[in-house]
Amino acid sequence: MSSERPTVSRELLYDEVWAEPMTTVAKRYGVSSSFMARVCTSLNVPRPDRGYWAKLAAGHKMPKRPSLPVPETGALIEWVQYGEGRRAPIVLQTHQVKVVRRNRSELPKLHPLLEGVQKQLKDGRESFFTEFIKPTKRISPDIVVSKHSIDRAIEIANELYLLFEERGHRVMLKPPGPYMWRAAVDEREKGGRERHYSDLWSPTRPTVVFIGKVAVGLTIFEMTEEVEVVHLDDTYVKVSDLTLRQSKRVQRGYGWKSVREMPTGRLCIQFYSPYPGAGWQRQWRESKNGDFPGKLKGTVKEVEAETVTIVKLLGEAEKRAEIERQRRRELEIHWEAEKLERAKVEAERQRVQSIKESRDNLLRVIRGWSEANGILKFFEEIECLASDLDQEERACIIERLELARQLLGNVDPLQLLRLWKSPEERLMQD
């Protein structure tokens, strides 16, 4: 693959995975086939099943390829190897969404999203630091309450969900496809400046209500207040809730007092924008237990009106994201230019070095050539002189000459030249 970092659209990727095997497409982009398959999943691009290309090569008649689905609002519509690609924009609404009413009689008494949730919460366990329940399943509606508020929270959630459904808005867990985040929850009724750590549970997928094509995140949670508590029998009890027997035990020195955030029984409904970069959040709180039933209809209407704000924020976020993507592209172009320049400098350095090394080696070959010729000439002259000696002395000299040849080994001037490498050969070797 080239050094370029591609930006691949859904349409291009769709055409490629149906034209060639996944391994071929993946190799083109310098990634594994399993990674490429995950890219297809993230872009909602259908791809051939396992064995498709083998069956096609064997002459089997294969079904027609499926069409490319229309991307959901906020879903990824391109793949960038480094960073995040563009997402499908929301069509800007300049007016409030038209309400399509449904009769309450057409709706079930319990919203389908809440079926079995009461049992999941009651069978759940309490958090370590608080009395909030962690349900048995994380794929569950976003309801964060203590065991004493389970029934009322489900009642409020059901009424709220049905009011949205009555006005034609779908309430569901986040659908697969577009990335949506869940806003953090600060359960403290009065908040606080200090850093707050919480062990509240969070669902795997946020609960959202779709008002038209705009998703609005929804969390129902119970608020806490800072109260004086006593630790008795491995649990915390509010000082105001101590029984007479417990008070006497405290007076005798059992337990210890401290200040702690405890559930109040008052609920808060938090709506937020689940789209990254489009920060929007609204809360409706109970000032006393039982406040909500009369406020929910007004809450629904206000949230409907706020969708225009969310869309505007999302449009601004997309503009910022596009500016950031452009900045990254320019940086990548700059980095690639620097990389090419460094490669050119390195290639020139290696070229100059190979010429120097080849020249130095050639000079050594020339010196070796002279030395080898001198050795050969030495042996030849000794043999010539030995031929004039008597037989016994000549045999002694020839024997000594053989010992000298064995010591020096094979002296071949041509072998030195055979081992020499030109600058081009050195570069090819590197």
pLDDT in tens, 231-283: 777 677 776 677 777 777 766 767 667 777 788 889 999 999 998 888 899 99
Would you say residue 318 lies in a domain? no
Would you say residue 30 lies in a domain? yes
Domain endpoint, select from 34, 57, 88: 88
Write down the pLDDT at residue 274.
Answer: 92
- In Å, how far are 8, 120, 122, 161, 264 from 133, measured between CA atoms? 44, 10, 8, 21, 14
Decide: helix, strand or coil at residue 364.
helix
Residue at 341: amino acid letter: E
Beta strands in 212-343 (DSSP E): 214-232, 235-238, 256-272, 281-285
Q: What gap in Å lies between CA 177 and CA 79, rounded to an integer?
A: 14
Residues 68 and 36 occupy one common structural domain: yes
Would you say residue 241 lies in a domain? no
Write down the pLDDT at residue 5.
Answer: 55
Would you say residue 182 lies in a domain? yes
Write down the pLDDT at residue 3.
Answer: 45
Host domain of residue 185: 104-220+262-294
Phi, psi for residue 108 in degrees, rounded to 5: -70, 160
Decide: helix, strand or coil at residue 171.
strand
Please compute the mean of the pLDDT values over residues 416-421 and round it to a whole number. 79
Write down the pLDDT at residue 10.
Answer: 92
Percent of the chain with pLDDT over 70: 90
Residues 135 and 43 occupy one common structural domain: no
What are the structure tokens assigned to 289, written together? 């237990």
Domain count, the chain: 3
Residues 75 and 139 occupy one common structural domain: no
Q: What is the mean pLDDT of the chain?
A: 85
Task: List pLDDT tens digits, range 291-339.
Answer: 887 889 999 999 999 998 998 898 888 888 888 888 888 888 899 899 9
Residue 177 clears pLDDT 90, i.e. is over it: no
Task: List pLDDT tens digits, range 77-93.
Answer: 888 876 667 777 765 55
Phi, psi for residue 184 in degrees, rounded to 5: -65, 155
Residues 59 and 169 occupy one common structural domain: no
Q: How many CB atoms lie within 10 A of CB 90?
A: 21
Please compute the mean of the pLDDT values over residues 224-237 and round it to a whole number. 76
Residues 163 and 22 occupy one common structural domain: no
Write down the pLDDT at residue 155.
Answer: 94
Kindly report the three-state secondary structure assignment for every residue of 42-69. Answer: HCCCCCCCCCHHHHHHCCCCCCCCCCCC
Write down the pLDDT at residue 27.
Answer: 92
Residue 11 clears pLDDT 90, i.e. is over it: yes
Residue 124 clears pLDDT 70, i.e. is over it: yes
Residues 190 and 214 occupy one common structural domain: yes
Task: List pLDDT tens digits, range 349-395.
Answer: 988 988 898 888 888 888 878 888 888 888 888 888 888 888 888 88
Task: List pLDDT tens digits, range 239-248.
Answer: 667 777 777 7
Task: List pLDDT tens digits, range 20-55.
Answer: 999 999 999 989 999 999 999 988 999 999 899 999
Residues 272 and 152 occupy one common structural domain: yes
pLDDT band at residue 407 using 50, 70 and 90 as cut-offs: confident
Would you say residue 95 lies in a domain? no
Would you say residue 390 lies in a domain? yes
Percent of the chain with pLDDT over 90: 35
- Please, which residues have CB within 8 angstroms of residue 411's CB and are 6 or more apart in sequence? 372, 375, 376
Write down the pLDDT at residue 99.
Answer: 61
Write down the pLDDT at residue 2.
Answer: 44
Residues 274 and 380 occupy one common structural domain: no
Residues 290 and 406 occupy one common structural domain: no
Would you say residue 55 lies in a domain? yes
The H-assigned helical ranges of 123-240 are 150-166
Write down the pLDDT at residue 361.
Answer: 85
Residues 135 and 187 occupy one common structural domain: yes
pTM of the model as a whole: 0.67
Contact status, residue 306 vs residue 282, Cβ threshold 8 Å: yes
Please compute the mean of the pLDDT values over residues 407-413 and round it to a whole number. 74
Would you say residue 234 lies in a domain? no
- Exposure string of 200-214, with b = 16+ CB inside 10 Å and e = fewer, is bbebebbbbbbbbeb
Among the ranges given (156-160, 257-261, 418-422), the one the predictor scored with the smallest mean pLDDT: 257-261
Residue 4 clears pLDDT 60, i.e. is over it: no
Beta strands in 124-186 (DSSP E): 125-126, 133-134, 143-144, 170-173
Write down the pLDDT at residue 203.
Answer: 93
Residue 204 clears pLDDT 80, i.e. is over it: yes
Residues 286 and 175 occupy one common structural domain: yes
Closest CA to 42 of 89, 81, 77: 77
Residues 57 and 115 occupy one common structural domain: no
